[in-house]
Amino acid sequence: MFCRNCGKEIDEKAYVCPHCGVLTSNAEAQKKTVNDSGSAGWGVLGFFFPIVGLILFLIWRDERPKSAKAAGIGALIFVIVYVIIFVIIFVIIFVIIISIGTQGGTVFVPALFSVL
């Protein structure tokens, strides 16, 4: 390839032109892939959109490991929170049904399910 500053021929894999010292397009491409902030924003995204978080995790695993980890953790937290909420609701319903059942109030059980 040719240097876009001085126009002299340089190596295809060169990051800096040996003639004028200007960064080549290789160096700019390298900068973009290094842009791996791993910001908490990806974790938030992964939490609210766990499917997106999971996809980003799989896509970025090699290229942007920090961002991939943040998105993956966000999705993981969503799954954990979802399971906890599900278990709590299940336990509450179970306790209500048991307490109604022990009082012999079977009439209230269908009413409870109609509310849910």
Tokens of 89: 């609701």
Q: Report, in Å, the least distance between residue 4 CB and Zn ion.
A: 8
Which pair of tokens denotes residue 108?
């209230």
Q: Does 24 bind Zn ion (CB under 5 A)?
A: no
The reply on whether position 25 binds Zn ion by CB under 5 A is: no
Q: Is 6 in the site for Zn ion (CB under 5 A)?
A: yes
Whole-angstrom distance, CA of residue 107 vs CA of residue 13: 79
Q: Does 19 contact Zn ion by CB under 5 A?
A: yes
Rounded least distance, CB 30 to Zn ion, Å: 17
Nearest to 52, CA basis, from 74, 24, 27:
74
Smallest separation, CB 76 to Zn ion (Å): 48
Q: What gap in Å lies between CA 47 and CA 101, rounded to an integer?
A: 38
Q: Give the tokens for residue 2.
A: 């040719």
| Structure-token pair, residue 80 | 């954990």
Q: Does 20 bind Zn ion (CB under 5 A)?
A: yes
Count of residues interacting with Zn ion (CB under 5 A): 6
Which CB, 4 or 61, lies closer to Zn ion? 4
Kindly list the residues in this chain that would bind Zn ion in the complex (CB under 5 A).
3, 5-6, 17, 19-20
